[in-house]
Amino acid sequence: LAEAGMTYFEAHDVEIPAADAAKALKVAEANGMTCGMYTPSFFADPVFKDGAMSSNDASIRAKGLANAKLAVDTTHVLGAKTMVFWNGREGFDFVLAKNGRDSFKRLVEGFNTVGHYAKEKYGDAIRFGIEPKPNEPRANMYLANVGEALYLISRLDSEIRHLFGVNPETAHSRIAGLDFLWDVEMALEAGKLFHIHLNSQDGQRYDQDLPFGYTEPLKDLALLVVLQDAKYDGIVAFDVKAPRTEDSKHIKDILEVSGNNLTWLWERALEVDRNVIAQLRSENRCTAISGYLAKCLYGR
């Protein structure tokens, strides 16, 4: 992967358990790779089937926090600067199964606890990116979109609030029927774009994790224009997965396709004349902007 231009890898704690972190670091270094982010799995263990931080069961909440603290330590061992939270079972399937106000307070309390733990042990060395996702795997998910994540961050203790940002994913925005470009712009405006997951999503279906640049290349081009103009210098990562129909010998194709599309679109984004965009905006010619982007994209 390093030969193909991939410089970072990411992992869940079920993929690299804490006990294997030091060994994984040596393997990564030998292959020229750096850990971009690490994340605790609040969704794989059946004990978290009704949530971790927001569970009605205090013992489950305690287990979730212990899991998160261990992930902080593993993030440090792996040398990653970001730990991502996708709280994949936090939510409800039936109304009144949980008290929403209590659940939100539990989330605030949980993230505060983890933030203070990291601050006390590692200072500001580790930051946290909350990854929003709607209506999967629960019918109703807490922290379903970037706006909810930013609101939660605003409620955290002031001493550790700066350690928390968001990790938006293009497919997750699409599942919610939202525009990932605006989600990213909102995170940038708040100074909270700590990490980003690029992929594609074919409408409001299940989370597909298709290769970046596949379904909406014009909007992907616009996204890269936004990142360039904001001088975003964080990690650009893919959250993609090979389809089950793919032969195992070709499993790398989805990474190579995503990487090639990103390189191609990034170069096209650099060629977009910002003065033309500004002029068309001043003339209120929205359709013309889309036409100009298409010209930049396809070179016609």
Determine the pLDDT at residue 5. 64
**Is residue 134 pLDDT above 90, yes or no?**
yes
Contact 30, 87 (CB under 8 A): no
pLDDT tops 60 at residue 136: yes
Per-residue confidence (pLDDT) for residue 300, from 0 to 100:
67
- DSSP single-letter state for residue 44: S
Q: Would you place residue 205 in the very low, low, confident or very high pLDDT band (cuts 50, 70, 90)?
A: confident
Q: What is the spatial distance between Cα 300 and Cα 290, in angstroms, rounded to a whole number?
A: 13
- Residue 84 DSSP SS3: strand
pLDDT, tens digit, 9 for 90 and up, residues 36-54:
999 998 888 899 999 999 9
| Whole-number pLDDT of residue 56 | 96
CA 2/CA 108 separation, integer angstroms? 38
Per-residue pLDDT, 148:
97
On the CB side of 281, how many CA atoms lie within 13 Å of its CA? 6
Q: Is the pLDDT of residue 290 over 70?
A: yes
Mean pLDDT, rounded, for 212-234: 97
- Mean per-residue pLDDT for 180-188? 97
Length of the chain: 300
pTM: 0.95
Please say whether the beta carbons of 129 and 143 come within 8 A: no
What pLDDT does residue 198 have? Answer: 97
pLDDT above 60: residue 1: no
pLDDT at 4 over 60: no
- 83 beta partners: 38, 128
What is the pLDDT at residue 119?
A: 98
pLDDT at site 41: 85
